[in-house]
Amino acid sequence: MAVLTHRSSASAPPHIAARLWRALEHGFDALVGAGGNPLKQLGALGFLLLWLLVGSGAVLYAVLDTSASGAYQSIEALSREQWRWGSLLRGLHRYAADAMVLVVLAHVVREWMLGRFRSFRAASWLTGVPLLLLLFVSAIGGFWLNWDRLGQFSATATAEWLDALPGLASPLARNFLSGTQLNDRLFSLFVFVHLGVPLMLVFGLWFHVQRLSRAQVFPTRALATGTGLTLLILAAIRPVRSQGPADLATVPATLNYDWLLLFIHPLTAATSAAMVWGLLVFFMALLLALPWLGVWRARAQPVALRAATGDAVEAGATLPATSHTHWRPAALTQFVAEVDPDHCSGCRRCVEDCPYAAITMVPHPSGRVGMELAQVRSDLCASCGICVGSCPSSTPFRSAEVLHTGIDMPQWPIDALRRQMQSGLVALPGPRRYVVFGCAEGADLGQLSADEVLALPLVCTGLLPPSFIEYALRAGADGVLVATCREGGCAFRLGERWTRERLQGLREPRLRASVSANGWSLVAADRGDEAVLAAALQALRSRTAESFEYPESTA
Amino acid sequence: MKRVFNWAGQALLYGIFAAFVVIFSQWPAYAPLAPEEALIKLSFVHHGQRVAECRPYTADELAKLAPNMRAPLKCGRERAPVTIELDIDGALAYRYTAAPSGLSRDGASTVYKRLELPAGKHRIAVRMRDTTATSGFTYQHDATVDLVPAQVLVIDFDSERGEIVLL
């Protein structure tokens, strides 16, 4: 077997944390299928729960008496005196908040374990960290609005915790001394915390997904329906009830406690306000510093290839130093897609397909009216090469000796891929020859040990123009296997989806319908799925062997 | 068959998730205060006396001031710290000296302290000093209170009445 190792240099063995998370995801895949796996849609699930909170919260606010003396009664009336819908709505609101905290924390853990917080992803990570605070502030503030015993305890404990900060002229906790009735103006502040902070959260989320194109702000319909129904059933089986009206003259004896949202109060009581402030500052600082921590252990830069010769060159020698990327540590700088004005037709397909909104269109330097040229923002470019796969100029059928395309990756030029495929096919001893294009983040192509296989790992299969399959078949390959990551598991978000849709003829550039379906195959195989990859290759072998023995059957 | 397996898998996952949410959103119960205990909240917002006594301006000082700034008395801004002592059943339970707030130390001194104690009868003595004196107290309040479990007793200073109050 021939494996072009310089292309796979982008793929170091995954960190143990990544392997653990992948194993968990694979377990969920086996249970519910890759398409419905909630672990791959945690961000979208978080958005869904936020929409549920906003919707149910808007109705709850409409019936809430926003005075300290009337709030409790109004919520009680909704819960007990209305038909079941009031209780359901309240339960949905509370349980959606609990679920959102779990889902968001799982989202953070996932991105951390998969190492998705550095380099071009740092902006999304950094804008996400403050949202954690806003989420908890919004959630805790919701308990105060009800102004029952739990709300009284939470508001008092929060005030005492805030009083540990220097600079307050008067202790906030004095607002909750017994013998005083809670001030309506203070209650208005509660309303602001629970309405204003979520608005800030939504605004922050807009920043959080700014650098993603086609950000998934809604999970699959099945997952959304299942989640919504689960929360409604929960609200029906176990309604959320108030725990008696607030009474500042006494301390609540026993509370049915929401540990998911209010864990900070018992933690403060068990330690001290200063300790909890310290922990909070420590964890926030740690999360914010994460993109810069451990960069010396970050993945080494892939070796670059000279476009014309395919010779390896040192990565650092050709890295573009731009004003947008200079802040990144040297270990995290990476190559940026380059546009060739002579070969860019301005078709916008790269703009459509880029997962990180890194490409925009500008007037073509030729000055011809209506002509546009793609332009890459280097700080947004993930160096995934998906734009190369989308470019119609990337077709290997062009007769030029050196294949120039409209947009190309300097470290993996498309011309080098064509050369490697041509020379690799010639080098295979035969009589049967197979080409396997695979994602470097996915199943290890090195496991395909056979003399008849040419393995070509790509940083992402989205880099592969579909016409390469037809070209390989015409150049002597008996079959072509394209191995993507599993559905929803693409390290560059959309590479697996775009590859699948292009090969199925659902997306430009399409694999031509005239290409025999017997001659190629598509398989989704993550790291660890090498057996699946081998089985897919074996199936392709069997299929093409039949064609080989009975060539008329493929006509 | 695989579809049925996936449906069953989804039902299992939703069930586990729902169980986790419903359990930890209500259980285990939390008791902010131990049974048979009561709570004292000792809290003051009080301005200490001025460190320097007010005195009339001298003629020279008045002459140097702009006409609209001429006042009969010259008063320093700095306030004395406020010292609080709380005895419960004859033993000193809390002592604290609160510095005046503000960059010029001209703001109020504040105290907020929670003390948990067993419910029942207790002899409470509160003393407050708001001058620069090193001994003696400006205000003092003694009382016997009978606290029921979970009761909150607030010890505050009523500036209108000029005395320490128990609420």
- A31 contact B CB<8A: yes
pLDDT digits (tens, 9 = 90+) for B19-34: 999 999 999 999 999 9
**Residue A171: both structure tokens together:** 């202790």
pLDDT tier for residue A315 given thresholds of 50, 70 and 90: very low
* Residue A65 pLDDT exceeds 60: yes
- Rounded-to-5 percentages of helix, strand, coil across chain A: 55, 10, 40
What is the number of CB-based contacts under 8 A between chain A and chain B? 124
pLDDT digits (tens, 9 = 90+) for A66-81: 888 899 999 998 888 6
Tokens 């077997």 identify what position?
A1
In this prediction, residue A388 carries a pLDDT of: 97
Of B9, B114, B156, Cβ closest to residue A32:
B9
User: CA-to-CA distance for A550 and A434, rounded, in angstroms?
Assistant: 18
* Residue A331 pLDDT exceeds 60: no
pLDDT digits (tens, 9 = 90+) for A234-275: 999 999 999 999 999 999 989 999 999 999 999 999 999 999
| Three-state DSSP class for residue A521 | strand
Of A95, A248, A259, Cβ closest to residue B152:
A248
B40 CA to chain A: closest CA distance, Å?
10
A271-280 long-range contacts, CB within 8 A, separation 24+: A272/A164, A273/A160, A273/A161, A273/A163, A273/A164, A274/A164, A276/A161, A277/A161, A277/A164, A277/A165
A329 secondary structure, DSSP code = -
CB contact under 8 A, B45 and A174: yes
* Residue A467 pLDDT exceeds 80: yes
In this prediction, residue A179 carries a pLDDT of: 58
- A38 contact B CB<8A: yes
* Residue A326 pLDDT exceeds 50: no
- A137 contact B CB<8A: no
A378 CA to chain B: closest CA distance, Å?
41
* Residue A553 pLDDT exceeds 70: no
Q: Are A438 and A527 in contact (CB under 8 A)?
A: no
pLDDT tier for residue A404 given thresholds of 50, 70 and 90: very high
Chain B residues with CB under 8 Å of A99 CB are 17, 21
| Three-state DSSP class for residue A338 | strand
**What part of A 491-550 touches B (C-beta under 8 Å)?**
none
CB contact under 8 A, B152 and A36: no
Chain A residues with CB under 8 Å of B20 CB are 102
In this prediction, residue A548 carries a pLDDT of: 55
CA distance readout (Å), A28 to A16, A215, A225, A301: 19, 23, 18, 32
Q: Are A414 and A337 in contact (CB under 8 A)?
A: no
| Three-state DSSP class for residue B106 | coil
In this prediction, residue A555 carries a pLDDT of: 34
In this prediction, residue A12 carries a pLDDT of: 54
- A227 contact B CB<8A: yes
Which chain A residue's Cα is nearest to B25?
A258
Chain A residues with CB under 8 Å of B31 CB are 253-255
In this prediction, residue A183 carries a pLDDT of: 83
Q: For chain A, give the mean pLDDT.
A: 88
In this prediction, residue A332 carries a pLDDT of: 58
pTM score of the predicted model? 0.89
* Residue A5 pLDDT exceeds 50: no
Which chain B residue's Cα is nearest to A35?
B6
In this prediction, residue B72 carries a pLDDT of: 86
In this prediction, residue A2 carries a pLDDT of: 45
pLDDT digits (tens, 9 = 90+) for B114-150: 999 999 999 999 999 999 998 899 999 999 999 999 9
pLDDT tier for residue A302 given thresholds of 50, 70 and 90: very low
Q: What is the mean pLDDT of residues A198-208?
A: 96
Q: How far is CA A290 from the centre of its chain?
A: 17
